[in-house]
Structure formats: structure tokens, C-alpha cells
Amino acid sequence: MELSVKQVREVTGPLLEAFARLMPQLSPQLEAPSAARLQAIVESPSAALFAAEAEGGIRGLLTLVWYDVPSGRKAWIEDVVVDAEARGTGAGRALVAAALEHAAVIGAGKVLLTSNPAREAARALYRKMGFEEAATTVFAIKTDAK
């Protein structure tokens, strides 16, 4: 399978279909984002959306976001998902590699991500690509009404 990763520059029908198919694979309660939300991400000066394509379709997605703080520019890899049928083909590695390359171009001194402990294959991939578990705890609080 020939695989390519591209930064998404426009929201298309196939992209919306891919999100509808893939987001529930990331987490069953997740719904696909709207076209407007995806357009805002594509147009954002602090985000890049990547798609892994093979055999005429989107097989995986990843979002890279970045921000500047006094300690430097940081980037986060978010919402990494590879279609269950395409896992093990290198799509995840290619998506993360594209995100890391982009992070270097935009001057991010550190790239972070979180990964559910149940996602053993993903965690093994991140370790193979040089990520190390940080000696910190991520705290979270929901601020929306949902």
C-alpha cells in the first residue's frame, strides 16, 4: 500500500466522511466535527491538520497545535487516529513524522502528546519515535455544558 501524508488545506466531502468514520474509532463517544470547525482548524495560524492517504482514501488523521509561552514555543499532537483496517501499515508513524517535521519548521522546542494506557500499540510507536513519558501529571476539567 502506497501511503502519503499531506497537510489538509481545504475541507472536502471525503475529509468529512473520514472524520465521521474515524472519530468513533478514537473514542466511541466522539462525533465528527462540523465542516465549520474543521475549516477553522485548517485556517488557524496555530494548528495544522494532517491526513494519511492510501488506496484513494483517507486512512488516518492527526492535528498539531502550538502556542507560545515564556518558556518557549510548545506543540501538542492531538486526535491521532488510524483506521482499524490500516493499522500496522505505517500510517501512524508517517502522520507523527509529518507533525514532528512541521513542529521543527515552526520552531517548537518541545512536542507533547497524551495517550491512553489501553492503546499499547500507539504508545509503543511513540516510544520508538523518541517520545519519553514525562514525569508530570496532566490535570483536566471540563468547562463546557456537555
Nearest to 21 by CA among 71, 84, 72: 84
Amino acid (one-letter) located at 97: A
**All cell numbers assigned to 118:** 489501553
Q: Can you tell me whether residue 99 is helix, strand or coil?
A: helix
Q: Are 51 and 10 in contact (CB under 8 A)?
A: no
Per-residue pLDDT 10s for the chain (146 aa) are: 799 999 999 999 999 999 999 999 999 999 999 999 999 999 999 999 999 999 889 999 999 999 999 999 999 999 999 999 999 899 999 999 999 999 999 999 999 999 989 989 999 999 999 999 999 998 999 998 65
Phi, psi for 122 (deg, rounded to 5): -65, -45
Q: Is the pTM of this model over 0.95?
A: no
Burial of 95 (0-12, 13-18, 19+ CB in 10 A): buried
- How far is 67 from 46, CA to CA, in rounded Å? 7
